[in-house]
Structure 1
Amino acid sequence: MVVLAKAELEQIALPAAQPPMADVRAVDLSAAPGPDRAAAARTLVAACEEQGFFRVTGHGVPQELVRAVEAAAAGFFALPQAEKEGATGEPVGYGCKQIGDGGDLGWIEYLLLCLTSAGTVPAASFPFSTLPCAAAAAATASLSEPCSPLRELLEEYAAAVRRVACGLLELMAEGLGIEPADTISRLVADAESDNMLRVNHYPPAPRPEQQAGRLLTGFGEHTDPQIISVLRSNGTTGLEIAGRDGAWASVPPDADSFFINVGDALQVLTNGRFRSVKHRVVVSSERSRVSMIFLGGPPPGARLAPLPQLLGDGGGRSRYREFTWMEYKSCSHRGRLVDDRLRPFEN
């Protein structure tokens, strides 16, 4: 349950607005080698240059798995507050209303999972073994086993979506003419990669706020720090992206596609050719929104700088100095969501 004091609600209140629908490019990840794959790579590169945001079809993640995870997550967030808070512990954490350490608030509760390179959470340190089984979700999805704990569903889902992220990064390398093809994807696939899975729940806005004609901030405007983010929701509106002119546009819900964000680290690797997209979530629906975001980051010690292949034969100017992923995280740890976290690393 998300509970905020009146002053906190005022802090996250937004004026009612109806931004236009975003025109989101689609990239077919199932395109076979040849002209179709080359066209998909060109579309991907154009989308990253224009918006830093696109949607993926042909991703191969079974819809029954997605539905089961969404239902199991919704079941978890429906538990009594004491049970949800009792699930908190490394490497998994339950949080409510507070986002990060910089003082940002939102109409949100969430689960945050640290992942291994295989896309799973170490079972020995996972405190969810006592959570109720997602029996209803499993039955709805016609899974082979009659009872799938939330932990197991999240592990399977994370592994599947991580494969999507790596496939996209390889297609991206093809579109940019970068060799080898795994130049970027191996940063997400490494045994030490800093990958995370975030499951967000945005309850319906409290009635007094709806009557006042205002919206609430679910997750304030920000860019994602990592290389790539793979997101999907339960078909509910609320996600908005900012264009190059700063104007907000609403992302139409899509029951079949995944949405992809360019992250700060990818902006650095492409020397600013790709821009990490600024986005936010606005609570404007009477229906709960559940979203799941895979955040693919590099290993802590990975050194990040513009890729030489993208600086040109003449050794073009690098917009960013070299730094490690751990340096970046240490520098931005206590910042606000809206901060430009890359500024300290610009040349």
Structure 2
Amino acid sequence: MVLPSSSPLRTKKTHAIGIPIIDLSLDTATLSDRIITACQDYGFFKLVNHGVPTEIISKMEQVAQGFFSKPASEKLKAKSNPPSPFGYGCRSIGFNGDVGELEYLLLQANPRSVLHSDTFNVVSDHPTDFSCAVDDYIHVVKNLTSGLLEILALGLSLTDTNVFSRLVQDTDSDSCFRINHYPGLKLKTESNQIKRIGFGEHSDPQIFTILRSNDVPGLQICTVDGLWIPVNIEPTDFCVFVGDALEVLTNGRFKSVRHRVMANMSTKSRISMMYFAAPAMNEWIFPIPQMISPGDLRLYKSFTWNEYKKAAYSLRLGDQRIDLFKCHPGLC
């Protein structure tokens, strides 16, 4: 089923409805062509044969389920304390009034962070096991992300094939890791079911998002034509989202994809785990000169990741945050 979107249409061009599936075992040339096409046309693709060990994925899901199965009073001990977004949250998304049918745990993805370490002592009865599961998972998805970004740079014929990946590999990277838990809802009428939102429409501000979820449906992406497509995911798949920062770095060639999660109507809870690959706070983000062809305009201003992050999180979830940094004709 394809649902109409409330989002403005990006283009009048009509695409065949389908989700790009990228097989990471393909040869590099074919792989880069297919990833580039997916990033241009959808800002999204599913990744198979990615080589991430199943035991690392399973262990991470196991410790996550262990946390979310705790009594509410125990989970609230890990509650986030504004202005820091890190820690446990329930229903409330951000600080601007957005809500959803979920609870979550947001962690920094930098092992050097003191907050990263201290959180484990609160969320788990076995903090070392939890910490090892998180660190192992972040390590493999970070390397996966860097590899995909290097393949992209190679396919785009950029002189520096590490131009994207070095932002993620920076020891001061602001990347983070989020685990969403969508409990099953029991609603009486179909009309109510359609209206319930698990996580509202938005794009991710970072460079890339790597998502893994169990086999409970709910994720939808918005096409360039403004249609919502449900994404069916096998537990072994990863989903890859283009974020706002990568749209800017490629001067709009890649589009950050708008997506949402519908409320979970099954009896089985939905667990999704997202690695948000971000640069360091003081890193400058701007269109790479090689991405601006002769005769084309530069579409975005230069800004630091810290500036963009502050702007992004000061707005409501569904606001078009990237528009704040678009160039006015002749001024960039």
Tell me, yes or no, if the aligned pair for 1:271 and 1:307 is still in contact at 8 Å. Answer: yes
Question: Does 2:101 align with 1:107?
Answer: yes
Question: Does 2:302 align with 1:310?
Answer: no
Q: How big is the shift at 1:124?
A: 7.4
2:96 match: secondary structure: coil
Counterpart of 2:2 in structure 1 is 19
- Percentage identity across paired residues of the two chains: 39
Alignment of 1:220-259 (within 5 A): 220-259=200-239
Tell me, yes or no, if the aligned pair for 1:121 and 1:155 is still in contact at 8 Å. Answer: no
Greater than 3 Å deviation, 4+ residue runs: 88-92, 119-125, 206-215
1:126 partner letter: D
Cα deviation per residue 1:176-227 (whole Å; 9 max; x = unaligned)?
Answer: 1112211111011111111000000001114446695545211000000000
2:209 match: secondary structure: strand
- Larger mean CA deviation between 209-218 and 48-57 belongs to 209-218
Alignment of 1:125-204 (within 5 A): 125-129=117-121, 131-133=124-126, 149-204=129-184
Aligned residues: 310
Quick one: distance in 1 between partners of 2:182 and 2:157? 40
Q: How big is the shift at 1:92?
A: 4.1
Alignment of 1:51-70 (within 5 A): 51-70=42-61
- Larger mean CA deviation between 278-287 and 219-228 belongs to 278-287
Tell me, yes or no, if the aligned pair for 2:39 and 2:255 is still in contact at 8 Å. Answer: yes
1:340 partner letter: Q
Alignment of 1:87-126 (within 5 A): 87-88=78-79, 92-116=86-110, 122=114, 125-126=117-118
Question: Gaps (5+ residues) in structure 2?
Answer: 4-15, 328-332
Quick one: distance in 1 between partners of 2:310 and 2:290? 28
Relative to structure 1, is the Cα distance of residues 227 and 29 closer, same or farther in structure 2, using a 3 angstrom cutoff? same
Give TM-score scaled by structure 2 length. 0.87
Give TM-score scaled by structure 1 length. 0.84
Q: How big is the shift at 1:285?
A: 2.7
Quick one: distance in 2 between partners of 1:332 and 1:297? 13
Quick one: distance in 1 between partners of 2:116 and 2:172? 18
Match of 1:29 among 24, 29, 34: 24
Tell me, yes or no, if the aligned pair for 1:209 and 1:215 is still in contact at 8 Å. Answer: no
Quick one: distance in 2 between partners of 1:38 and 1:239? 30
Question: Does 2:40 align with 1:45?
Answer: no
Quick one: distance in 1 between partners of 2:116 and 2:223? 43
Tell me, yes or no, if the aligned pair for 1:240 and 1:281 is still in contact at 8 Å. Answer: yes
1:71 match: secondary structure: helix
2:61 partner letter: E
1:48 partner letter: C
Q: How big is the shift at 1:120?
A: 7.0
Match of 1:278 among 222, 233, 258: 258
Quick one: distance in 2 between partners of 1:120 and 1:48? 32
Quick one: distance in 2 between partners of 1:207 and 1:190? 46
Match of 2:246 among 266, 273, 277: 266
Question: Does 2:282 align with 1:301?
Answer: yes
Relative to structure 1, is the Cα distance of residues 76 and 305 closer, same or farther in structure 2, using a 3 angstrom cutoff? same
